[in-house]
């Protein structure tokens, strides 16, 4: 008999049982009596871990991953271990092999070890038990960080305010409310302008002599020079400032370059035809990988088993750059020339 079973029989959370064991005044008398009655009936003697559930955490951080062979998790664990050791924590690593039942047992082991915190990429993403157990950990004061996957019945990804700000306000009319959000917004604008200039020149939509020479002299003649100019300017101008900013000269040149791109590239008549061609490439790649999911990299094959082929193919295509998508399309669908004998 363990604390989880006592909680189930009493119809309360593990955190409530812990409060009863620790004589917390926050528990209602009727609830306390019900829990104590269940413990008496089952001859339950609280362990030291149970008594200290909310107050004396061990100096252990538990990391739960579904596949240790995946390079993503290997790198993740390396980073977690490095930070944990600097803060005098030990790291316990558990591999569930994408097995929800094994994950359930692992979480029970972590509960008994009274870990100071849990970082988990859940195998049981659709399993109500995993979500319920993670909620119980949180209720008892154990920090839980979900990595990479949502858990049904849980609270979703533990995204910080800064990350959410960067996602929601990196473009559009809403202004970022954090410095991290401002960094994302600036990086997004810089990348868009410069990559789109390269794409337009490579596609023949623009020619070198058509580029605004006055702006090129300020920002730079090449892709690398322009990015370096903009980023270096932000770093200099933002020192000891509450917000990120550019100098008036670089900001004006950047804004005018963006306006030039809208006039000559983004809003030009050729765009609709090019978008139609892009749709064709994406649709062809989507259909191909839906029929041949095994041709995707291993991590997306794994996603297909977990979340379905459509989700896996969508994620794979979303990660492609323009050049990679076009090169892949050409390799799959365009005949290779051969000599005539």
Residues of the chain with CATH 1.10.260.40: 3-50
Would the pTM of this model clear 0.75, i.e. be above it? no
Quick: pLDDT tens for 36-78.
Answer: 888 888 877 665 555 544 445 578 899 999 888 877 787 788 8
CATH 3.40.50.2300 domain range(s) in the chain: 60-158
Mean pLDDT, residues 174-201 taken together: 89
Q: Could you give the residue ranges of the DSSP H alpha helices within the chain? A: 3-10, 14-21, 29-41, 48-51, 71-86, 100-113, 128-139, 161-169, 179-203, 213-219, 223-237, 248-261, 270-291, 298-307, 309-318, 322-333
3-50 is a CATH 1.10.260.40 domain: yes
Model confidence at 155: pLDDT above 50: no
Is residue 341 pLDDT above 90, yes or no? no
pLDDT exceeding 70 applies to what percent of the chain? Answer: 87
CATH code, residues 60-158:
3.40.50.2300
Region 139-159: what's the mean pLDDT? 69
Do 146 and 169 touch, CB atoms closer than 8 A?
Answer: no
């Amino acid at each position: 008999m363990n604390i989880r079973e006592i909680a189930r029989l009493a119809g309360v959370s593990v955190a409530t049982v812990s409060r009863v064991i620790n004589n917390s005044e926050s528990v209602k008398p009727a609830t306390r009596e019900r829990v104590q009655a269940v413990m008496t009936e089952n001859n339950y003697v609280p362990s030291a871990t149970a008594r200290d559930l909310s107050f004396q955490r061990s100096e252990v951080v538990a990391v739960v991953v579904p596949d240790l062979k995946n390079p993503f998790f290997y790198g993740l664990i390396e980073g977690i271990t490095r930070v944990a050791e600097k803060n005098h924590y030990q790291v316990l690593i558990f591999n569930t092999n994408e097995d929800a039942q094994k994950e359930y047992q692992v979480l029970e082991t972590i509960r008994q070890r009274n870990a100071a915190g849990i970082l988990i990429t859940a195998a049981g993403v659709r399993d109500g038990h995993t979500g319920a157990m993670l909620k119980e950990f949180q209720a008892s004061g154990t920090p839980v960080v979900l990595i990479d996957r949502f858990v049904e019945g849980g609270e979703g990804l533990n995204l910080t305010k800064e990350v959410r700000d960067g996602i929601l306000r990196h473009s559009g009319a809403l202004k970022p409310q954090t410095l991290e959000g401002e960094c994302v917004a600036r990086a997004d604008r810089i990348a868009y302008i410069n990559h789109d200039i390269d794409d337009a020149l490579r596609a023949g939509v623009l020619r070198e002599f058509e580029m605004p020479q006055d702006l090129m002299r300020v920002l730079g003649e090449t892709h690398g020079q322009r990015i370096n100019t903009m980023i270096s300017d932000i770093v200099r101008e933002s020192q000891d400032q509450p917000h990120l900013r550019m100098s008036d000269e670089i900001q004006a040149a950047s804004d005018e370059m963006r306006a030039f791109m809208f006039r000559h590239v983004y809003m030009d008549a050729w765009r609709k035809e090019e978008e139609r061609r892009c749709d064709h490439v994406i649709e062809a790649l989507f259909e191909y990988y839906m029929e041949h999911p095994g041709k995707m990299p291993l991590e997306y094959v794994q996603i297909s088993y977990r979340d379905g082929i459509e989700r896996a193919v969508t994620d794979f295509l979303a990660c492609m750059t323009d050049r990679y998508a076009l090169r892949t399309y050409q390799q799959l669908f365009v005949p290779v020339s051969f000599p005539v004998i």
